[in-house]
Every structure is written in C-alpha cells, then in structure tokens.
Amino acid sequence: MNRLAIGISTLAVCLLMTGCAIGANGASANQNGTTSGQLVFQNKTSEMRITPDNKMDASLVTTTDDTHIDVLDSQGHRVILNAEKTPALIVAYWCPHCQRTLKLLSSHQSQLSELPVLIHTGFPDGTTLAEAKKVVATEVKDLNLHGFTSYYALGSSFAKQYAPKGYPTLLYGSNKGVQSLVGEHVLSVWDEVLTTPL
C-alpha cells in the first residue's frame, strides 16, 4: 500500500472510532434511514461497534454563540437553550453511536444526577417538524427510551456549528465554561460530566 492510501484509511478509522461523522449537508455521509423521501428509523445499535471511550476528553467551547442553542420544541416554538445551565446532547436518529449512548443513559438514569435534553438533528434538507417527530417517536419506542426532553434542529447548518466533530455531541456547563464531549463514552464519563458542579 502506498502512503496516501494508508493515511486515508487511518483518517477514516479515526473519524468513525467514537462517533458518526457529519456529511457536507449536515447529515450522515451516506444518508442512512431515508427511502423515497420518507424518514425511516432503523435500530443500528449492533452496527459500527467500538469500545466506548473511557477518557474524560471534553474540549472547551470557545465561541459564545455556540453556548446558546436555537432549537424547536415539539410544538414548533423557537427555544434558546443555554448550554451553561442545561446539558444538551446532539443526536441523529441514523447514528449507531447515538442510539447506544441514548440506551445507556436511559437505562442508567437513576445513577445520573440529571439527563441531558436531546437535540435531534441530522435530518435531510426539507424535513418538516412533523416528519422529524415521527421518526424520533419510532426511535424512542423501538429503543425503549425514557426520561428525555426532546428538541429539534432541522437546518443542515446546525450540525456544522454545534457538532462539527460528529454525533453524539454533548454541550454542558462546567467551572471552566461550556464544554463539548463527542462520541460514545462509558457510563462513568457521562456520570462525571452530568454531575460536575459549576
């Protein structure tokens, strides 16, 4: 193999190691979960298996605009979430890493001091709120998720701004400022970031 092929292969493995990459349109690089213009939820918890990260490897969010998150509630009302006060987990319905993370947090919520709110994104351009809610409702039912408050971000620019490294991305407040944690992690890391006092 030449050096270029090895370099590209290594980069691809690194990008997929702990989370789902974001394509040019803010959605999955291969846009899984759509057929004939309709969104379809697929349980992908057995796909793209990795060992969840056991390191607390969050990074500081340096842009103030990225700490106030403009989303829609389930009624279509615009809401501004403050990541300093409300931990927000950015997820995509087609992302296996997101699905496993949601199942982990849901099944261990009694061990966590709080659950993050969910921001569902990664929808194809033109997706309506009703379509997004329908596919998320199927995900919640099929994965047996409980206890989460859901918000929606339908524009493709959302993921580029708030989750540029991929899904899942948690934005949360800490004594250092708003932090970003990307990818699948073990429960002890989620517990640490969701219970760290400001």
Regarding the domain delimited by 3-195, which CATH topology (the fold level of the hierarchy) does it fall under? Glutaredoxin (3.40.30)
pTM of structure: 0.84
- Domains of the chain by residue range: 3-195
Q: 71-75: which pairs have CB atoms within 8 A and are 24 or more residues apart?
A: 71/119, 71/151, 71/152, 71/153, 72/129, 72/151, 72/152, 72/153, 72/154, 73/151, 73/152, 74/129, 74/133, 74/150, 74/151, 74/152
Q: Which residue has the tokens 């009703």?
A: 130
pLDDT in tens, 96-111: 999 999 999 999 998 8
pLDDT in tens, 125-173: 999 999 999 999 999 999 999 999 999 999 888 888 888 888 999 999 9
